A and B are shown apart, each in its own frame.
Chain A
């Protein structure tokens, strides 16, 4: 286990450095400077701006500069918001995005595992068909449609929940979390149903039943441990998807999180912000993938004993 962990970390570091370098040079070859969108600036001001942000130096110097800053956790100043550093902006947005992602994952796991396991146990009854039909809806209705629809129903027509914001009005966290969580609940329901069906037919389940365990014990102690491995493996990649989902959800509900900052930075061509968040997101996703792979390995007795 520990050896695998360190081997994967060793691979992850050069990958992240490569991501940082590629992103850096992609942005350097981008047509147009970061200050082009502003109303015409005098050449003198432009010169000063370029000097202030060290844009006059050669690309190579800037690269070395940036990478050494990166190793110290300094992602440079934001082009759009003078006086604020990218690290600072990530630090303000991150807790909000994390909270949103946490609620969404919680909703997805509770709803998904419950309905998936139930569907597997009550196979081919309406307790199987109805949750699975709902899961199909969850997969086919994209987040950017689900969010507005929920707003339309609960926020505008029924007027029972706030339509935007985060932590300002009571209940304003419900709709964003549901929007983001629902799609994953659907995937998790399908995965846990499939995983459970596979495990429930195996010999050790029959043994567990034969030694007189209650059905509840068989399901909770024996079947779910193996049956939910696909769900655990899915969680790593799901974090990447949650991130993309947070772009949409934070835009719809006007939530001041990292996702919205990123989308705004993309519109504003705030290159340092784009660069910094890209590197940060990549690091986060590599980390979560690693965690979910390790958890899946650990849950699977065969690979656990082998290592």
Chain B
């Protein structure tokens, strides 16, 4: 791995205030989500029915919902699910997309054109509908949700990786490795993958917000995360149902969700600019 590339990039990233701020918010969120059972003021199942929906107060910093549940605690627990979906589904997309792209790009020729043709065709299909279809047919299951979202989001990753691999394929060190009889698998692992980590990292960061949007969208329609689990999408859905009287139930989850997406987008954009200074002035 080229060390100076990464240390240069890190330096540039550290100079980008928006990206650093985004990164800071993300780390904070991940810590909050991980520590939710310890830092949430109330437990997951805590419910004070007699309280009902109450506006923010000292007891309940962000108020309570119609069932008397503490909103702050629900947002903290929701962060676990929302971020989990974001990261795991992106991971699924990453594994499929990177393998597909490396194989297509490295083998080239007929295999490449068939594989990329498949990607082109899949691109043109309304995948959101297939996700809904899968959720309807096989029940609304968290693991299925990861798989379904991941299976949709890998296409762009495959294209990016393929382009990068084709660029690398004709460089001397790859040809030298090939001449020395390195096996395909270790070629991928030792020579190709480390050199395309930059674009992969950038695209993965930018995929996470898309995945979270998709999860929010499905949960909002009632086709995603199911009670008793809750994600930010389901909190927003609940908030919409009671927003006429209890607007804070929509506004706080909404702010949390939006700020997270902002942070991820800023961080991803900053990472892209840092790793690829050529594009940074657009």
Interface, chain A (partner B; CB < 8 A) = 11, 15, 19, 23, 26-27, 29-31, 136, 139-145, 148-149, 151-152, 156, 194, 197-198, 237, 240, 243-244, 247-248, 251-252, 262-263, 266-267, 269, 274, 277-278, 281-282, 285-286, 289
Which B residue's beta carbon lies closest to that of A236? B124
Interface size on B, residues (CB 8 A): 41
Which B residue's beta carbon lies closest to that of A140? B261
B209 neighbours in A (Cβ, 8 Å): 140
Q: Does B182 contact A (CB under 8 A)?
A: no
B237 neighbours in A (Cβ, 8 Å): 144
**A26-B137, A136-B262 are known contacts. Are A266 and B223 too (CB-CB below 8 A)?**
yes
Tell whether, in the assembled complex, residue A267 and residue B222 are in contact, meaning their CB atoms are under 8 Å apart. yes
**A152-B243, A274-B136, A278-B133 are known contacts. Are A248 and B124 too (CB-CB below 8 A)?**
no
Interface, chain B (partner A; CB < 8 A) = 121, 123-130, 132-139, 209, 213, 216-217, 220-223, 233, 236-237, 239-240, 243-244, 247, 250, 254, 257-258, 261-262, 265, 282
Minimum Cβ distance to chain B for residue A147 (Å): 8
When the two chains form the complex, which single residue of B125, B139, B216, B257 contacts A282, counting CB atoms closer than 8 Å?
Answer: B125
Looking at B121, B123, B124, B261, which has the most chain A CB atoms within 10 Å of its CB?
A: B124
Tell whether, in the assembled complex, residue A252 and residue B240 are in contact, meaning their CB atoms are under 8 Å apart. yes
Tell whether, in the assembled complex, residue B265 and residue A136 are in contact, meaning their CB atoms are under 8 Å apart. yes
Report the separation of the CA atoms of residues A42 and B134 in the bound assembly, to the nearest whole angstrom. Answer: 30
Report the separation of the CA atoms of residues A277 and B129 in the bound assembly, to the nearest whole angstrom. Answer: 9
B127 neighbours in A (Cβ, 8 Å): 240
Tell whether, in the assembled complex, residue A197 and residue B282 are in contact, meaning their CB atoms are under 8 Å apart. yes
Report the separation of the CA atoms of residues A100 and B12 in the bound assembly, to the nearest whole angstrom. Answer: 44
Minimum Cβ distance to chain A for residue B260 (Å): 9
Which B residue's beta carbon lies closest to that of A156? B244
Tell whether, in the assembled complex, residue A141 and residue B258 are in contact, meaning their CB atoms are under 8 Å apart. yes
B257 neighbours in A (Cβ, 8 Å): 142, 145
Tell whether, in the assembled complex, residue A30 and residue B126 are in contact, meaning their CB atoms are under 8 Å apart. no
A269 neighbours in B (Cβ, 8 Å): 136
Tell whether, in the assembled complex, residue B221 and residue A142 are in contact, meaning their CB atoms are under 8 Å apart. no
Interface of B is mostly: helix
Kindly list the 7 A-B residue pairs having the minimum CB-CB distance in the complex, ordered from nearest. Answer: A30-B137, A144-B220, A140-B261, A244-B128, A148-B240, A289-B124, A266-B136
Tell whether, in the assembled complex, residue A27 and residue B250 are in contact, meaning their CB atoms are under 8 Å apart. no
Which B residue's beta carbon lies closest to that of A259? B221
Report the separation of the CA atoms of residues A22 and B274 in the bound assembly, to the nearest whole angstrom. Answer: 43
When the two chains form the complex, which single residue of B121, B136, B233, B236 contacts A11, counting CB atoms closer than 8 Å?
Answer: B121
B213 neighbours in A (Cβ, 8 Å): 142
Tell whether, in the assembled complex, residue A244 and residue B262 are in contact, meaning their CB atoms are under 8 Å apart. no
Which A residue's beta carbon lies closest to that of B281? A197
A267 neighbours in B (Cβ, 8 Å): 222
Which B residue's beta carbon lies closest to that of A8? B124
Which B residue's beta carbon lies closest to that of A139? B265
B282 neighbours in A (Cβ, 8 Å): 194, 197-198
Tell whether, in the assembled complex, residue B240 and residue A142 are in contact, meaning their CB atoms are under 8 Å apart. no
Tell whether, in the assembled complex, residue A285 and residue B125 are in contact, meaning their CB atoms are under 8 Å apart. yes
B244 neighbours in A (Cβ, 8 Å): 156
A247 neighbours in B (Cβ, 8 Å): 128, 217, 221
B134 neighbours in A (Cβ, 8 Å): 26
B130 neighbours in A (Cβ, 8 Å): 278
A286 neighbours in B (Cβ, 8 Å): 124-125
Report the separation of the CA atoms of residues A252 and B222 in the bound assembly, to the nearest whole angstrom. Answer: 13
A243-B126, A285-B124 provided; 10 other pairs, C-beta below 8 A? A15-B125, A140-B209, A145-B254, A252-B240, A267-B222, A277-B129, A278-B126, A281-B129, A282-B126, A289-B123
